[in-house]
Amino acid sequence: MKATKHVARLITVLLAGASPALAQTGTGRAASAPELTLNAQGYYEAPAANVLVFSNWYDGLFADSKISGVEIIQQGERIATNGDVRLSATPGQWDAIGRLIDRQVDAATGAITVTLEYPDYQWRYRIRSEKRGGAVAIAVILDQPVPAALAGKAGFNLELLPAAYFHHSFMADGAGGTFPLYPADAMTRTPERNAASGRAEGLGAEPIAIAHGTRFVLAPEDPARRVTIRSTADVQLFDGRNQAQNGWFVLRSLLPAGKTGRVLEWVVQPNAVPGWLRAPVIAHSQLGYTPQARKIATIELDRGDTRALPARLLRVGEDGAMTPVATGPTTRWGNYLRYSYRQLDFSAVRTPGTYVLEYGQTRTAPFRIAADVYAGAWHPTLDVYFPVAMDHMFVNEGYRVWHGDAHRDDARQAPVSHEHIDLYAQGPTTDTRFKPGEHIPGLAVGGWFDAGDFDIRTQSQYQVIRSLVDSWERWHPTRDTTAIDWTRRRTEIHVPDGTPDLLQQIRHGTLQLIAQFDAVGHAIHGIVEPDVAQYTHLGDASTKTDGLIYDPALKLGEERGGRSGTPDDRWAFTTKASALNYGSIAGLAAASRALAEVDPALSKKARDLAVRTWAEEQSHAPDLYQHGNTTGGPLEAEKFSAAVELLRTTRDPAYAAAVQASWPAMEKSFAFTLRDAVAAIPRMPASYRAAMIPAVRAYAAKMEEATKANPFGVTITTGGWAGSGTVLGQALNAYVLHKAFPEIVSTDAVFRGAEFLLGHHPGSDLSFVSAVGTRSKEVAYGNNRADFSFIAGGVVPGVLVIKPDFPENHEDWPFFWGENEYVIPEGAMWIELAQAINELSATKVAK
């Protein structure tokens, strides 16, 4: 009997290795569904099926992060989320969401009770889940009825990942239907909600339900995706993509008016395929390895997979022959998150060539062992990603226009005492000579789109400038594949113009920083869309506005004399913040060094402005306004970076004194300021470096300890934004510390960080740098995300840990911004890291 079960299980595993959809036995039916149990991690678990009940939560600002409420993980994929009481059928990112008050887990009974509230309506509700055999019963319990204002609006929603149900069917009370590949449903006209709801003013539209019933079966034909839901009230199925491209399929039951107690119950039963095991993942660098490098492949296994399969390294021949190369056996690393891990060390293999790795039926894409694997790894980021991110320019690539000359109408003064979207806010005054709503001239120049959206976030601008300057000063890359003409406001990708591209990008960012000081006299938080309807714009950035300066004297839609009556211009948030001023000083001082030869006039202006602003900041108490992540980092850290860059630029002893005075505070936050601290060493007395040694040793010891926490040897974050930026930062920290303190810090962490970005990470083996490595992110959250596409060289946040233990990065749904959104600082850091490793690799060869 045991042998028979083992054979059946092995067949299932082999099928799983070929395709998750085939990972089943027979028809996929079971005599009885495996019972769900409440495990020690606080979620319901059966073989190959999990139901999470508020294990994850995100604040109301980013309610559409798709990591909250009731969630379903089935056969290794998270296919449903946001199970909660919502106020519309297909809510968007900026729509209201209940505030989490309390979560209680009763391990003895297997029940979870969550209390939430909508504070604007002074209304609380509870969601209680209980295990019921192979299902989970989820009830909405009210101590007070649905408020009159929410009657007909409040309902229990569960959102289904569209990509999981494309090409699948459903049944509602026995009536069949299929999930649409593209939204094409009828809509009903409704009075539009206000701007805070996430939609433009005027007439709006709401989707009409695709189907309804009290019993839904999702994907009845596919055991890997089958979910059965039985409800005490009518359930409607909606397609949220009718309103927004990032919408999901939504199951929804309205809550009854005037009732209390257990007003609604759903019984949710995800199908668990008997004997299913997740296919192994061979985590490795998609780019490859240099001959002398450490080479570790980490094999990620379902914890139920107890087989000891052979792991092989195969060399690819010209004729397609796969020749095994001798390596040692795999070794067990242990358990991490929900998987178990084995590792294959093939560091001894140094012969250049093309290779693949194999474990059982799983085989990787080809990768190289070669001395030059990192030589061009940063090229796509500089050649394509940064040009595409250039604001206030027409950007062309061959036959393709990435976007037109965007935001020529920048920018209007933001209203006072106003908290805006995306962490922008304006204080009680403008801190400028401009009245709220008035045009601020001179801002329509330079800068990069911050991320997958189109705002200019000043904090990101100066971070990128400094990172690019570091690349220039360390390695002087003269690569020239982009033509930039600021007079014509035109960028041509893959067209040389005689000037190093890195310097041109530094100039472009510097133009925006200087424009802010010229316009209002200080650094501003940034420039962002005036409402959600524009903020969520997808497509050509130049079509977000009419490009004409708003004139309130004109009628809506009227154009006259190069002005417009359409108030679509972006807003500039201008409340003074000394932290932003100091960060901009650092960026300007660094840029002045890099631009000294290619643009002496701009270089001098940047330097003079940095010196003058520093002096002004010393003449008064600091402006301490803070909001979100748009008003600069910690004040003392930003001041320290400004002093360091001014010292490097001017060599003035006054800045050395400022650096020395700040060092005791910086030592306490060494992990966050060490690159600045090390950069000052050449201009400081020997005692400064000596005083840093204890902090370096402590940091190195802490990082060494962190490498033992998981099999990948890096820090893996667990917040709502995944951790590629943290990994990049720590790898660059290791590089600069190794250069300054080689006797204390080795290069190992530099390589581990790059390998993590390139595929050696949990959840998959994809490179998180699009177009870098054989298999990389091809579906990402760039400004072309609606096309399910990518921007070459963009770096995504990467592995998002869905609490408590599920590592995730979707390649089938770009709209997961917490794991798939490109941001410019990470792009600049990747340019640095790739060149750092190329340098270190060359040094190893030389030795």
Q: Is 72 exposed, middle or buried (0-12, 13-18, 19+ CB in 10 A)?
A: buried
Tokens of 377: 């790894």
Are 524 and 572 within 8 A, CB to CB?
yes
Are 753 and 714 within 8 A, CB to CB?
yes
Annotate 313-335 with b (16+ C-beta within 10 A) or e (fewer). Answer: bbbbeeeeeeeebebeebeebee
- Alpha carbon distance 418, 525 (integer Å): 13
Of 722, 744, 510, 716, the residue nearest 610 (C-alpha): 510
Tell me if 282-369 shares its fold with 380-632.
no
- Alpha carbon distance 53, 250 (integer Å): 17
Phi and psi torsions of 264, nearest 5°: -155, 140
Report the CATH number of the 2-270 domain: 2.70.98
Give the pLDDT confidence of 409-461 residue by residue, as tens digits. Answer: 999 999 999 999 999 999 999 999 999 999 999 999 999 999 999 999 999 99
Of 730, 768, 830, 711, the residue nearest 342 (C-alpha): 711
Show the 3-state SS of 683-712. Answer: HCCHHHHHHHHHHHHHHHHHHHHHCCCCCC
Asked if the 380-632 domain carries CATH number 3.40.50.300, the reply is no
Q: How many residues are present in the chain? A: 847
- Where are the chain's structural domains? 2-270, 282-369, 380-632
Report the CATH number of the 282-369 domain: 2.60.40.10
Helix (H) / strand (E) containing 817: helix 817-820
Rounded mean pLDDT for each run of 10 residues along the chain, 847 residues in total: 33 34 36 83 95 87 85 97 96 89 96 97 98 96 97 98 98 97 86 44 75 98 97 98 94 98 98 93 98 97 92 97 96 97 98 97 97 97 98 98 97 97 96 98 98 95 98 98 98 98 98 98 98 91 96 96 96 98 98 98 98 98 96 98 98 98 96 97 98 98 94 95 97 98 97 98 98 98 95 98 97 96 98 98 70
- Alpha carbon distance 101, 117 (integer Å): 7
- Alpha carbon distance 350, 293 (integer Å): 8
Q: Residue 200: what pLDDT?
A: 41
Which residues, listed in sequence order, are joined to residue 340 by a DSSP beta bridge? 301, 335
Global pTM? Answer: 0.94
Q: Is the peptide bond before 682 cis (omega within 30 degrees of 0)?
A: no
Q: Residue 13: what pLDDT?
A: 33
